[in-house]
Chains A and B, each alone.
Chain A
Amino acid sequence: MSSGGHQPRGDADVFAVDEEIGRDLARVDWAATSLGPPADWPQSLQTAVRILLSSRFPMWMAWGPQLTFFCNAAYRRDTLGRKYPWALGRPASEVWAEIWDDIGPRIDTVLNTGQATWDDALLLFLERAGYREETYHTFSYSPLRNDTGGLVGMLCVVREDTDRVIGERRMATLRDLGSDPSVVRTEQEMLAFAARQLDRNRRDLPFTLTYLFSDDGHARLAAATGFTAAHPAAAATLSPADPEALWPTAKLLEGESARVPLDGDRFAGLPTGDWPKAPTEALLVPLRQQGVVPYGFLVAGVNHYRALDDGYRGFIELAAGHVATGIASARSYQAQQRRAEELAELDRAKTTFFSNISHEFRTPLTLIMGPLDELRLRLHDAEQPVQEELEVIRRNGLRLGKLVNSLLDFSRIEAGRMQARYEPVDLAAATVDLASVFRSAIERAGLTFEVDCPPLAEPVHLDRGMWEKVVLNLLSNALKFTFHGAIRVTLRAEDGQAVVRIADTGVGVPEDEMPRLFERFHRIENSRSRSNEGSGIGLALVKELVGLHGGTITADSAPGEGTTFTIRLPFGTAHLPAVALAPAVTGTAVVSASAEPFVQEALRWLPAIIGPVTAVDHDQPVEDGHLRRGVPARVLVADDNADMREYLIRLLRNAGHRVDAVADGQEALELARAETPDLVVSDVMMPRLDGLRLVAALRADPRTAGTPVLLLSARAGQEASIEGLEAGADDYLVKPFSAAELLARVRANVELARLRSHHARWRTALVDSLQEAFFVCAEDGSVVEVNAAFTDILGYGPEDLRNGPVQPWWPDPDIEPEAHRQVTEAFEVLLRQSHGSYTAPVTHRDGHRLWVAATFNQVDDPDTGRRMIVGTFRDVTAEHYAVQRESALAALSMRLSQAEDLTDALHGVLAELRRLWRAAGVLAAVFDGAHAPVLTATDPELRWDALAEQQRRDLTALRDKPLLTPVAGHTGGAGITVEHPHGTMAIWIDLGEKRPFTEQDQTLLALLAGHLSQGLHRVHQIDQQRETALALQRAILGPAQLPTGFAVRYAPATRPLKVGGDWYDTVELPDGRIGIVVGDCVGHGLQAATVMGQLRSACRALLLQDSSPAQTLTALDRFAALLPGAACATVFCGVLDLLTGELRYSSAGHPPAVIAHPDGTVHLLDQGRSRPLAVRPGLDRPEADCVVPARATLLLYTDGLVERRRQPLSVGIANAAAAIQTGRAAPIESLASDVMDQMAPDGGYDDDVALLLYRHPGPLELEFPAESTHLAPVRSALRNWLDRCGLAPANAYNVLVAAGEACANAIEHGNHDSSGGRILLRAAATADDLRLSVTDTGRWRTPQPAANSHRGRGLVLMQALMDTITVTAGTAGTTVDMQARITR
């Protein structure tokens, strides 16, 4: 209801808030719906539609008896699908017929209880895209009320969660598929594991079949999920040639996917998964392997309730990819396992074999060669053919002996039993001597032989025997592969080492063979050489021997140009075991006999020597195809020794790797950070940053933490290697090392890193496919990794991450200190706790506000051992604002419901708005048209006139804006206009400086304003209803022409303000007695008041008919039984004789009346009690008699006076009795007020209260003409009253005389000053005293004892007889008040 002639406005533009939806809503034939044309819509409906349309959150609402459907643009976009615009204006049960079983009961609950509902990710099957679709929604239904507060509809705020729920489900499956690599041992185990994981998601994968191809192209069923019994679709084998086969095997064999419709009998009865209906389609995806035919294929039944979209397809392909990876991994694992076992066995057998066989060969060889030499001497003059044959035997015997010796050396080296004896040797001389052995053979081959070995400054410690083998092997090798040019031996001292180079201009070594040059038993195939002889053992032995000297050997070669072997031997003895050192032996520069076999062998290769080509070499190189397939790696070499660096570069380049080399750890670190290598090979001892510190620095940086590092060190021993590994190195190699060993380690580490990076790539793919944002934080809070969803949600990618905790998405501390504080606190939680979750505000790259809910865990990085924080979060902005909205609405509703009236409501609401926005202040100006605007503000002192001129103008301007449309001001604040019952109200929220009022704020304000408008109207209506009811109640109860001596009170309940059904009544009966009644009807409000009025009238009529209280109540029983709402009313009914104080009473379930005696005792009238009204109509009721003694006080009341929570009724009654007893000396009217005040609880009465007091006898009140003839009857009446007051005769006589004197005075004045004057005598008693007053209409003359001595004497008498006398003279008359204590 509005006043002041104000009319609601804006009916016509109800749809104008949203152009698009509004247009379609306007097209609906509303007149045909139960809502009628929009022009007739109530204010509340218009408000609701405006709020709906203006919101950017998806919402729909249902209004009216048919729950007519409305929705906004966001809902249409997210959820409604093809039902738009058909759904607008239709009954909600028709729009959502397919889910009405789910949502109908919820809507009923809302409409019946007014309680909002909340559902999180509820599964609903919608038909909005042409099929029944599995969808998930998080939504709340809130009640909508009409203009009178009745429940007429509901508002649904919804967020569709389908993508999230399904995405999480699929993600869980993919995560589970990769969860436990330890189970991947065999293919069978792996398939069983994968099947278990696939089977756990029967929503996306109602069934799956995993087929693997056999070599013959047939597909064999390897795993199945979802099936509980045999089914034709799960055939055990499939033939690619079979045109009748259920699954298109041939197509999959070619690596293509296929979609197969599942119709026809063959597919009847397929598993349905978690759904009621089976899939109608299957997706077949090959289990791909690199470059060759797939391992097999995966058949996945497609969820009946989801379309096979890109996401679904991608999920199945990822799952299949995981199965394929698992198969690859299992097969590779098995192959490796098998080979490793075979190799180990082979190696063991070989070593044992050679060790044994070498010894066994030597004995017969000795026994061959010894006799042969004897035989040659003896037959030196024998025939040429005999000699030649002996020579053949000898040469081959020598060769065999050399071979056996080499093998034996190897066995010794491997078994660690090589007995070396290092003595200081003049390396130049020793080398020249050895070279000279070969000179003739080389020159005979037509090659130039250059030996350039200047003496060195210091000797080199050598085992002469071993050194011979080194040089002779290399020279023999050079001769073997060189057809033109030269062989050159040089010796230099370089970098503190003796460097021997043996270079040739031979065929050279192909680049791809270089890495294996020094491998045992490895021979270079198809290479042009002087001989096919060779065991593939020479260079390997050389390398081992050089290694025993603490030296290194490297080879440089270019095909067609030649090869150079470089041997580097350290000076001194530090690199040699002390026990193997020996003093120099003089005159030992003699080449031992072991040189001869080399020369002999070499001479055999030369054409000048005729000899049979023997010994076809059957040694086969070990084919290690698996390892050789490795893709070249990027290797970073760090070594301060240039030769070593060069050597490593050469070695690794020759092995096909890309190599970068630097001279120290610092450079290595910088380079590694700039471009992460696949492997770092680093020396330990380096300037600037040594190898160990380099490892630590690499591990500390997340970018390089996973890069493998191979440390090289000259320091042998377990401790050194442990130190290196502890520093985080992946491998450790002690110098000297063989090229082969280094390359093997490099290869192993690169493979490992590749495997790791494969895992890393899989992990990245997994993390990126998470729909939740994913992040990894370092200990200091620096974010080091994020996924794609992170970027989607926040707009910031990995390139935007900053070091340190403060990230670009943190709210600006200056502009939004509160948001900044929240995110800071959340961040502390993140760093402090081992796991947890938080919700915090963040700022999107484009500046808009987001709320995210994050969950995190601290984990230890297995690579670095450092504590990291891994977390995910999702965008809960919509939920956040929904919760904020709900709680703000609840707070607002609370304020409105607690309000006592409109003003109170508005104050409460403004305070709430201020709290909500932490505003500096909130103003509301109501423009009622007639007067100056009425201002209400959070500052209670503020008045319209006190506002600044600009503020007044702003508020006035705001008034003219459209209703419920937030207006953000440019000075830090926002306003909105709503309808107030008294006119348009402009609300202004003053945010203070520099605070933005965001879009969400505006939406919230609009929503609150809508509720506020309705709420204020409701409060206003309740106000009016309450006033009406109170007026009605008072009209019914009063103005009672109360007999004297009575006081009555009625108070409505204060909160919530309610009038009720309590009443009091007094009825003057024909016999002069008075009926007194106090009653209490059940319930509150207008209806209870109406029932009360009827009961009261009935009771009154019945008392007049029959003055028995019991009979009156019995008759009232019958009446109440017929009157709806009257049953169970309680009534105390009494009939009182005012002269004698005799009281007959009966109580219908009512609390007992109380009598307070003048002596201070109290007495409860607890007799004559029986049931409340109409409980057992027809049964008699008891009654009881008592006497109200002189100057006693009688109290009748309703339970509102005494009933308190958590307190027995008897306590309340005792309190009331005490209050009466305490106030027994007070006049009856003031006693009534005192009792009502004293008994009221702190917050006021929460039930209404009726109260009736009587003090016996009632006051005397006599009015008579101011004539002396009236004195005698007045006196008689007064005497009689005093007698009823129980006064002693002397006491009474004094009062009588004093009153008489006062009256006599009054008569004299009345006579003198005016004619027809009247006198009023009043007398009242309390427990202890009497009060009398005599009032006339004249003015007293000044006492003139001389002229009229007895008049003066009268005053003296009055003063003497009474305790106090007060004379009040006025223009209208004079009053004498007298008071006398009552003596007992």
Chain B
Amino acid sequence: MTTALSLANSRRPDGTRVLTVIGEIDMSNAATFAAALTDAVDTDFEAVDAGHLVVDLTAVEYLDSAGLAALFPHAERIQLVVTPLLEPLLTISGLADLTTVHRP
């Protein structure tokens, strides 16, 4: 059984693309998450400025090093929205230094 994860792409009124992640990300579904992330970044690679993909992790209840591993390659082209629960993790892993982190 794979860990529950739903991924949804959307666009804000200002045109910013948002990847909304709901569920948990661990080694069992990290690949799915990574693929979706890459897909979203790559899909709009030409049109979008760096940093214009917002990955909304507000509804992610669990994220570990497998999920971080998916985020790191795209750090310069994404912005993150996380609850305070996940913040220490981003800080400890150094991802917060590479990308912009927003509170919801």
Query: Considering residues A1268, A1270, A1296, which has the most beta carbons from chain B within 10 angstroms of its beta carbon?
Result: A1268
Q: Which of A1271, A1293, A1308, A1357 has a CB less than 8 Å from the CB of B28?
A: A1271
Given A1307-B27, A1356-B93, check contact A1275 B68 (CB 8 Å): no
**Contact bitstring A1046-1070, B, C-beta under 8 A = 1, else 0:** 0000000000000000000000000
**Contact bitstring A103-135, B, C-beta under 8 A = 1, else 0:** 000000000000000000000000000000000
Segment with Cβ contacts to A, from B11-19, B41-49, B50-58, B59-67: B59-67
When chains A and B are docked, how far (Å) is the Cα of A1275 from the Cα of B72?
A: 24
Q: Quick one: which of A1273-1319 are within 8 Å of B by CB?
A: 1273, 1275, 1289-1290, 1293-1294, 1296-1297, 1300-1301, 1304, 1307-1308
B1 touches A1293 (CB 8 A): no
When chains A and B are docked, how far (Å) is the Cα of A1268 from the Cα of B29?
A: 9
When chains A and B are docked, how far (Å) is the Cα of A1297 from the Cα of B2?
A: 18
**Contact bitstring B66-95, A, C-beta under 8 A = 1, else 0:** 101100100000000000111011001100
A1275 touches B24 (CB 8 A): yes
Interface size class of A (residues with CB under 8 A): 20 to 34
When chains A and B are docked, how far (Å) is the Cα of A226 from the Cα of B4?
A: 124
Kindly state whether residue A1158 has any CB partner on chain B within 8 Å: no
Given A1290-B84, A1294-B88, check contact A1350 B26 (CB 8 Å): no
Interface size class of B (residues with CB under 8 A): 20 to 34
A1360 touches B68 (CB 8 A): no
B6 to chain A, nearest CB (A): 14
Q: Across the two chains, which residue of chain A brings its CB closest to B30?
A: A1350
B88 touches A1290 (CB 8 A): yes
B68 touches A1350 (CB 8 A): yes
Kindly state whether residue A1361 has any CB partner on chain B within 8 Å: yes
Q: Which of A1271, A1289, A1356 has a CB less than 8 Å from the CB of B26?
A: A1271
B4 touches A1272 (CB 8 A): yes
B92 touches A1271 (CB 8 A): no
When chains A and B are docked, how far (Å) is the Cα of A1078 from the Cα of B89?
A: 47
When chains A and B are docked, how far (Å) is the Cα of A1275 from the Cα of B28?
A: 13
What are the residues of chain B within 8 A of A1300 when measuring CB–CB?
A: 26, 62, 64
Kindly state whether residue B10 has any CB partner on chain A within 8 Å: no
When chains A and B are docked, how far (Å) is the Cα of A1356 from the Cα of B69?
A: 13
When chains A and B are docked, how far (Å) is the Cα of A1294 from the Cα of B89?
A: 8
B92 touches A1361 (CB 8 A): yes
Kindly state whether residue A1351 has any CB partner on chain B within 8 Å: yes
What are the residues of chain B within 8 A of A1272 when measuring CB–CB?
A: 1, 3-4, 24, 26, 28
A223 to chain B, nearest CB (A): 126
Query: Considering residues A1271, A1294, A1307, A1361, which has the most beta carbons from chain B within 10 angstroms of its beta carbon?
Result: A1271
Q: Across the two chains, which residue of chain A brings its CB closest to B1?
A: A1269
B65 touches A1301 (CB 8 A): yes
When chains A and B are docked, how far (Å) is the Cα of A1297 from the Cα of B27?
A: 12
B27 touches A1357 (CB 8 A): no
A1350 touches B1 (CB 8 A): no
When chains A and B are docked, how far (Å) is the Cα of A1273 from the Cα of B85?
A: 20
What are the residues of chain B within 8 A of A1293 when measuring CB–CB?
A: 85-86
Kindly state whether residue A1354 has any CB partner on chain B within 8 Å: yes
Q: Quick one: which of A1312-1364 are within 8 Å of B by CB?
A: 1349-1351, 1353-1354, 1356-1357, 1360-1361
A1306 to chain B, nearest CB (A): 11
Q: Which of A1289, A1290, A1350, A1361 has a CB less than 8 Å from the CB of B66?
A: A1350
Q: Which of A1268, A1275, A1294, A1350 has a CB less than 8 Å from the CB of B65?
A: A1350
Q: Which of B27, B63, B89 has a CB less than 8 Å from the CB of A1304?
A: B27
B93 touches A1357 (CB 8 A): yes
Q: Across the two chains, which residue of chain B brings its CB closest to A1349?
A: B69
What are the residues of chain A within 8 A of B93 when measuring CB–CB?
A: 1353, 1356-1357
A1341 to chain B, nearest CB (A): 15
Given A1269-B1, A1272-B3, A1357-B65, check contact A1290 B85 (CB 8 Å): yes
When chains A and B are docked, how far (Å) is the Cα of A1301 from the Cα of B66?
A: 9
A1310 to chain B, nearest CB (A): 12
The A contact surface, by secondary structure, is helix
Q: Which of B2, B64, B84, B88 has a CB less than 8 Å from the CB of A1301?
A: B64
A1268 touches B64 (CB 8 A): no
Q: Across the two chains, which residue of chain A brings its CB closest to B3?
A: A1272
A1269 to chain B, nearest CB (A): 5
When chains A and B are docked, how far (Å) is the Cα of A1189 from the Cα of B3?
A: 32
What are the residues of chain A within 8 A of B26 when measuring CB–CB?
A: 1268, 1271-1272, 1275, 1300, 1304
Query: Considering residues B3, B63, B84, B86, which has the most beta carbons from chain A within 10 angstroms of its beta carbon?
Result: B3
What are the residues of chain B within 8 A of A1353 when measuring CB–CB?
A: 65, 68-69, 93
Given A1304-B66, A1357-B65, check contact A1269 B28 (CB 8 Å): yes
What are the residues of chain B within 8 A of A1270 when measuring CB–CB?
A: 1
Q: Across the two chains, which residue of chain B brings its CB closest to A1307?
A: B27
What are the residues of chain B within 8 A of A1351 when measuring CB–CB?
A: 65
Q: Which of A1269, A1307, A1354 has a CB less than 8 Å from the CB of B64?
A: A1354
**Contact bitstring A37-81, B, C-beta under 8 A = 1, else 0:** 000000000000000000000000000000000000000000000
Q: Across the two chains, which residue of chain A brings its CB closest to B87?
A: A1290
What are the residues of chain B within 8 A of A1273 when measuring CB–CB?
A: 1
Query: Considering residues B62, B72, B86, which has the most beta carbons from chain A within 10 angstroms of its beta carbon?
Result: B62
Given A1304-B26, A1357-B64, check contact A1269 B2 (CB 8 Å): yes
What are the residues of chain B within 8 A of A1269 when measuring CB–CB?
A: 1-3, 28
When chains A and B are docked, how far (Å) is the Cα of A241 from the Cα of B86?
A: 147
B2 to chain A, nearest CB (A): 6
A1303 to chain B, nearest CB (A): 9
A1297 touches B4 (CB 8 A): no
B69 touches A1350 (CB 8 A): yes
Given A1290-B84, A1290-B85, check contact A1271 B27 (CB 8 Å): yes
Q: Across the two chains, which residue of chain B brings its CB closest to A1290?
A: B85
When chains A and B are docked, how far (Å) is the Cα of A1349 from the Cα of B28?
A: 17
What are the residues of chain B within 8 A of A1308 when measuring CB–CB?
A: 27
A1268 touches B28 (CB 8 A): yes
B37 to chain A, nearest CB (A): 14
Q: Across the two chains, which residue of chain B brings its CB closest to A1354?
A: B65
A1275 touches B62 (CB 8 A): yes
When chains A and B are docked, how far (Å) is the Cα of A1351 from the Cα of B92?
A: 15
What are the residues of chain B within 8 A of A1350 when measuring CB–CB?
A: 65-66, 68-69, 72
**Contact bitstring A1259-1270, B, C-beta under 8 A = 1, else 0:** 000000000111
Query: Considering residues B63, B64, B68, B86, which has the most beta carbons from chain A within 10 angstroms of its beta carbon?
Result: B64
When chains A and B are docked, how far (Å) is the Cα of A1270 from the Cα of B62?
A: 14
A1289 to chain B, nearest CB (A): 6
Query: Considering residues A1308, A1354, A1356, A1361, which has the most beta carbons from chain B within 10 angstroms of its beta carbon?
Result: A1354
Q: Across the two chains, which residue of chain A brings its CB closest to B86?
A: A1293
Q: Which of A1268, A1275, A1360 has a CB less than 8 Å from the CB of B92?
A: A1360
When chains A and B are docked, how far (Å) is the Cα of A1350 from the Cα of B89?
A: 13
A1029 to chain B, nearest CB (A): 53
Query: Considering residues A1269, A1294, A1349, A1356, which has the most beta carbons from chain B within 10 angstroms of its beta carbon?
Result: A1269
What are the residues of chain B within 8 A of A1361 when measuring CB–CB?
A: 88, 92
Given contacts A1290-B85, A1357-B89, A1357-B92, list 19 more A-B pairs with CB under 8 A. A1268-B27, A1268-B28, A1270-B1, A1271-B28, A1272-B3, A1272-B4, A1272-B26, A1273-B1, A1293-B86, A1294-B88, A1296-B62, A1297-B89, A1301-B65, A1304-B65, A1307-B27, A1350-B66, A1353-B68, A1354-B65, A1357-B93
What are the 4 closest A-B residue pairs judged by CB atoms, nearest first? A1350-B69, A1268-B28, A1354-B65, A1272-B3
A-B contact pairs, 22 of them (CB 8 A): A1268-B26, A1269-B2, A1271-B28, A1272-B26, A1273-B1, A1290-B85, A1290-B88, A1293-B85, A1294-B88, A1297-B62, A1300-B26, A1301-B64, A1301-B65, A1307-B27, A1349-B72, A1350-B69, A1350-B72, A1353-B65, A1354-B65, A1357-B92, A1361-B88, A1361-B92
| Residues of chain A having any CB pair with chain B under 8 Å | 1268-1273, 1275, 1289-1290, 1293-1294, 1296-1297, 1300-1301, 1304, 1307-1308, 1349-1351, 1353-1354, 1356-1357, 1360-1361
